[in-house]
Amino acid sequence: MPIYERFVGAHRDDFLSLKDAQKNYKLTWSEDFNFAYDVMDVLGTEKPDKLAMVWVSKDGEEIKFTFEDMMKMSNKVANYLRYLGVKKGDRVLLVMKRSHYFWHTVLALHKIGAVMVQATFMLTPKEYVYRCNKAGIKYAIFTGDGNCTDQFDERQDEYETVLRKMVLGHKKADGWLDFEEGVANASDEWVRPTGKDAIYANDTSILGFTSGTNGYPKMVLHDFRYPLGHIMTGVFWHRVVDGGLHFTISDTGWLKSLWGKMYGQWFGESAVLVYDFDKFDAVDILEKLEKYRVTTFCVPPTMYRLLLQQNVKDYDLSALTHCCTAGEALSPEIFNNWKEATGLELYEGFGQTETTLCIATIYPWTKPVPGAMGLPVPGFDVHILDEEGENAAHGSNGEICIRTLSTDRHPCGLMRSYNANPEDTERAIYRGYYHTGDVAYRDEFGLFRYVGRNDDVIKSSGYRISPFEIESVMLEHPAVFEVAVTGVPDPVRGFAVKATVALKDGYVGSDELTKELQTYVKKNTAPYKYPRVIEYVAALPKTFNGKIRRVEIRNNDKQKYDENNK
């Protein structure tokens, strides 16, 4: 019996339909639930030789960890951190790229009751200062790759709470402790804290920064129940194979790494493949899928598009049983091309830093439909609300909102609040709902279809236009590699539809191509939606985790408009 059944009370195949699961899927946990103790240490004791992780360095070094290895390594890290003074409630910054020590450290922090704060290695000194002071960071653990430690130290006098700094890779840096040496010398025995140091399910476990798509990132507070929400992510949506190997591509600077490379997968007793590469290379990733016989796979649509630039059929991907995608809207073009190349459909999902998976297409309950996210998953009561706070009619746009008062307890996986930010919390959680800021509509089959962020929806000549709908059409044109649709200020329409386009190799932007693309959109969607402005760029602006920064395009266009109309 896989360990998730102890918390669900049933096997995933016992639920005969989505309706059955929405009625009967019930999570149970103790008041002191802790993933590190109640899942990983149990597996490390009961199934010590079962594979938990295959870690591969950028140079091809390979290390395999069993569940017993994970238990003992996390004990060693916990002992070393406790020796340095880390205690329950302390906030620890992790900038560790995809080092296997990241996973050992997360489990160790859970065992201590300290709070994990993830950050990407690509931050600037200013961004490190913002995160450390906002979160009250006391300890920092960094990768030894690149110049991260130098970036962190550049404005070290501005840190208000940082006490100790540790670095991986035996890197010699002034003021930095050798993390790996300290861990190597620590004991692999650990006793679960009791008394005043006891850890409870409603204690703070994670502070996750949002991607900052629309400004400075907010700090999301999750408690120790958060991993339980990812049973739905890993076991049901990813449909991980007990004893298989799951591969999600995500930097550890974001909570997506916990979505796809840890909690839900280990609940399902699948191993995870962690590939610590520097730069995404489609051929390299396809080779890893083939070599390691990956059974389940999840990457954003952008990465599927890059993989499909190669001849996917040249690789033996016969071990793959299930593929998922999230992070941005999935176009029908990618869905159809991946299915043609592999025989596998893509199962789309939706969630945020503030939530676990809350809308998805889940096999076998819901059949994938290109361009549709799916339906609300068990555990979340999701609605599309109009501007008056009422359920929007099918076909009408509204905001994706999650009921917070639909049961006698807070939905498992939904944030408690934005840390130290009651104003933003009150703007997001009110009248019994968490308001996601994302816009969608339900089609004639009741499926949720993504429109965009509230700020992304274009209001032009009285119309509300979805950027995703236009982007999906344009991506079907053979010249278009990537596209971002935004509103550009217009004195007559308020905003005009603009497409910022990155072309495929062999194509060059021209007036003729612009007219061709505009005609193509008119023929494939309502004519009023066609982009009146098309700009060609080498690459679209994106966040560190690959999301298109439409806000940057909008701000640049507004600045140009203001300068031209002074």
What is residue 408's predicted lDDT score, i.e. its pLDDT?
56
**3 state DSSP class of 559:** helix
Q: At what angle do helices 100-112 and 67-84 cross, to 10 degrees?
A: 60
What is the dihedral sign for C-alpha 436, 441, 443, 444? positive
What is residue 409's predicted lDDT score, i.e. its pLDDT?
67
Q: Rounded to an integer, what distance in angstroms lies between the CA atom of residue 86 and that of residue 344? A: 46
Cβ pair 269, 295 in contact under 8 A: no
- Residues contacting residue 317 through CB under 8 Å, at least 6 positions apart: 286, 289, 290, 294, 342
Q: Would you state the structure tokens that stand for residue 212, as one six-digit string?
A: 């900052």
Q: What angle do CA 6, 10, 14 make, to 5 degrees?
A: 160
Long-range contacts: 43-47, Cβ < 8 Å, 24+? 43/3, 43/67, 43/71, 43/266, 43/269, 44/68, 44/69, 44/70, 44/71, 44/72, 45/71, 47/269
pLDDT, mean of each 10-residue run, the chain (566 residues): 97 97 96 99 99 97 98 99 98 97 99 97 90 96 94 95 95 92 98 97 95 72 98 98 96 91 98 95 97 97 91 98 90 92 97 96 95 94 94 94 76 92 92 93 94 80 79 92 92 88 96 96 88 96 76 88 79
Question: pTM for the full model?
Answer: 0.87
Q: Rounded to an integer, what distance in angstroms lies between the CA atom of residue 300 and that of residue 287? A: 18
Residue with tokens 């700090």: 219
What is residue 393's predicted lDDT score, i.e. its pLDDT?
94
Q: Which CATH class is domain 456-564?
A: alpha beta
What is residue 407's predicted lDDT score, i.e. its pLDDT?
54
Report the DSSP beta bridge partners of residue 64.
54
- Bond into 370 cis (ω within 30): no
Q: Rounded to an integer, what distance in angstroms lies between the CA atom of residue 551 and that of residue 22? A: 36
Long-range contacts: 3-6, Cβ < 8 Å, 24+? 3/39, 3/42, 3/43, 3/267, 3/269, 4/231, 4/235, 4/267, 4/268
Phi, then psi, of 200 in degrees rounded to 5: -120, 160
Q: Rounded to an integer, what distance in angstroms lies between the CA atom of residue 248 and that of residue 297? A: 6
Residue ranges covered by each domain of the chain: 456-564
- Residues contacting residue 555 through CB under 8 Å, at least 6 positions apart: none
- Residues contacting residue 10 through CB under 8 Å, at least 6 positions apart: 24, 25
